[in-house]
A and B are shown apart, each in its own frame.
Chain A
């Protein structure tokens, strides 16, 4: 196994060795259920065979809570406790450490994302069949959610690489991801160039197309670019110790 995967595996397992994974998964499902069925009238009022509500509420929960909680400790905690020193002094490249931690955290988030498949399956396949569900938008919605998760976790990792405090990492990640989400709502109220800019950087606006069943290569490239850029900056932040 490559060093990157060994680190990713340990990171992933450590979520389940502590209560964090169980708490995050349970509470996320509880919150998602509430949002899906009750928020703004909920699923029933929509009166359509669609799980678009799922795609609207799940990334919001990920942005505001799950991703900040999952990523806050990634590097901040290792740096504070000194285990980062143990990791870096192994015959392992810094990039393996960053990517390993990234994949470990992304793994947990993706488990959450994939588990939400329960909604379309249970409601529209078996045991209930509430109507003819269009598979296209569901597939593209999931693709969008996976790309979104990849980018959000990378942003969280980057912020965790910049501080020693988990609380600071949580709050800044919450703020940044929250802002990137709400820019979409803000754009509809603003006008002109500002609206274009806000729509351009907003995760929410970018995801909108996916919910409608539209996979635009510009959106795909946007999420992938955010991911790559964040990971690169996190890598540099980790390397900074060598010069500073």
Chain B
């Protein structure tokens, strides 16, 4: 019962925050609502007993990436931009793609055949899913994990090269 109530609260935070994020005129307000949306996602992780993901969502997305977003928005003078007309002519395309995505999700969830059936969620471990996650990441999927880290490193080096005129 409580779980259901909390689920709807977090779902409302996620969706409401996302909608307000794209409709606000002020860039800082958009960022604040995006933070609210990410917090809702963190709450949903917590409801699934994924405590580690909850903490990482807060530390990395809310505490790291969004602070950088705010940092950049504050550095750039957006007063001029806020006065411009913000909806461009792509809204028809946007509505069409949302409808297609929504339709295919509904179809996928309603008519489950053998090959689209979602795996049944396993019973969550009593405590410390950090260790389970580490086991999976560093034993079963070590190579993809390392490749992903190298990819991030490439992005870091690339942005440094683009930002610096003279290395």
Q: Is this pair of chains taken from one and the same complex?
A: no
Hey, which bits of chain B sit against chain A, CB under 8 A? none
Hey, which bits of chain A sit against chain B, CB under 8 A? none
